[in-house]
């Protein structure tokens, strides 16, 4: 594999920093790494392979000569810089939701639909974090029989809202122990010792934008345009790693043992079985690594073609940074 010039757009955020870390862990051959961020972050340094890389201000001319650009910025900035990235000749692998539903932009989880990435036109989209984790957990089952519909409830860590979410939970827990009044800024309600069944913006159908991503993005990843998903997204007072309870209903019955075998052998998944520790995964088990853990596979009691399972995965790693680097690796190896 040749060496590549790679830029990370939004390098100083949680996902951007993790992208830099994963590039090093995965041994991606890098001849030049450009770390790009806002003007106020320029001048800082981020370690990479024993060196301190200086962060530069992101500009439209920052991508000249790059082979790949990993995007870890919000939609407006992604839309602003994407044309410049494509014009430079680099491939833009974007973690925002700006291009996820664009039919000309592949939406890719490498283990599931990696071949889609090869048909890119300069931009490849990273799916939503909860969608990635859920689709990884059910993809093996989908290989046995196509999925008709799904019912999902996500239990999403505060780090999914960025560093501000982590800080808010830490400060609220501290204020609780000191008897102080709690302050709420990032979340719509107190998150310490609480759960909030609302993530994203409300839609006319009474679901939120975050909840509809599971169906809209799942259809593209699984190549099932007729897939229906009903989803409830819940913010929980957990620092890192999202959890999802999901019921899948397939066209043909799939036994529990068949499902376990499919999950056990699906790349990027780890089946947690009874007798192995506590017999099911938790967010703490899956933090700071890239596998999606799956457990509690059981028969759906409302449908003979249904199975219910529980899965956990690190939303900053496999749900964002690692998935993007895996897409880059897939392209580089072709």
Positions annotated as catalytic residues are 129, 242
Inter-residue contact 98 to 78 (CB < 8 Å) = yes
Question: CA dist 47 to 8, 35, 73, 109, 163, Å?
Answer: 13, 11, 20, 27, 19
Helical (H) or strand (E) element with 329: helix 322-333
Inter-residue contact 66 to 90 (CB < 8 Å) = yes
- At residue 140, the 3 state secondary structure works out as helix
- At residue 99, the 3 state secondary structure works out as coil
DSSP 202: B
Inter-residue contact 322 to 140 (CB < 8 Å) = no
SS3 for 217-248 is: HHHHHHCCCCCEEEEEEEECCCCCCEEEEEEE
DSSP 131: H
């Amino acid at each position: 594999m040749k060496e590549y010039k790679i830029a990370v757009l939004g390098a100083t955020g949680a996902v951007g920093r993790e992208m830099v870390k994963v590039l090093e862990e995965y041994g991606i051959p890098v001849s030049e790494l450009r770390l790009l961020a806002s003007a106020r972050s320029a001048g800082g340094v981020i370690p990479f392979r024993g060196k301190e890389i200086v962060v530069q201000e992101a500009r439209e001319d920052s991508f000249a000569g790059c082979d790949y650009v990993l995007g870890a910025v919000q939609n407006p900035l992604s839309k602003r810089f994407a044309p410049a990235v494509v014009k430079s000749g680099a491939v833009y692998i974007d973690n925002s939701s700006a291009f996820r539903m664009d039919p000309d932009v592949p939406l890719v989880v490498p283990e599931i639909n990696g071949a889609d990435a090869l048909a890119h036109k300069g931009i490849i989209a990273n799916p939503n974090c909860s969608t990635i984790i859920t689709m990884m957990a059910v993809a093996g089952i989908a290989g046995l029989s196509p999925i008709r519909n799904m019912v999902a409830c996500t239990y999403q860590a505060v780090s999914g809202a960025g560093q501000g979410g982590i800080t808010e939970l830490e400060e609220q827990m501290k204020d609780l122990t000191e008897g102080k009044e709690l302050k709420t800024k990032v979340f719509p309600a107190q998150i310490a010792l609480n759960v909030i069944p609302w993530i994203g913006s409300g839609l006319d159908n009474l679901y939120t934008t975050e909840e509809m991503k599971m169906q809209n993005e799942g259809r593209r990843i699984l190549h099932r345009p007729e897939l229906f998903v009903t989803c409830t997204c819940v913010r929980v007072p957990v620092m890192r790693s999202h959890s999802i309870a999901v019921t899948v209903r397939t066209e043909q019955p799939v036994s529990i043992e068949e499902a376990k075998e499919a999950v056990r052998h699906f790349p990027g998944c780890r089946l947690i079985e009874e007798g192995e520790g506590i017999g099911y995964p938790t967010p703490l088990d899956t933090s700071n690594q890239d596998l999606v853990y799956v457990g509690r596979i059981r028969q759906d009691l409302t449908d003979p073609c249904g199975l219910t399972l529980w899965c956990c995965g690190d939303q900053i790693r496999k749900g964002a940074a690692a998935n993007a680097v895996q897409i880059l690796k897939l392209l580089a190896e072709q």
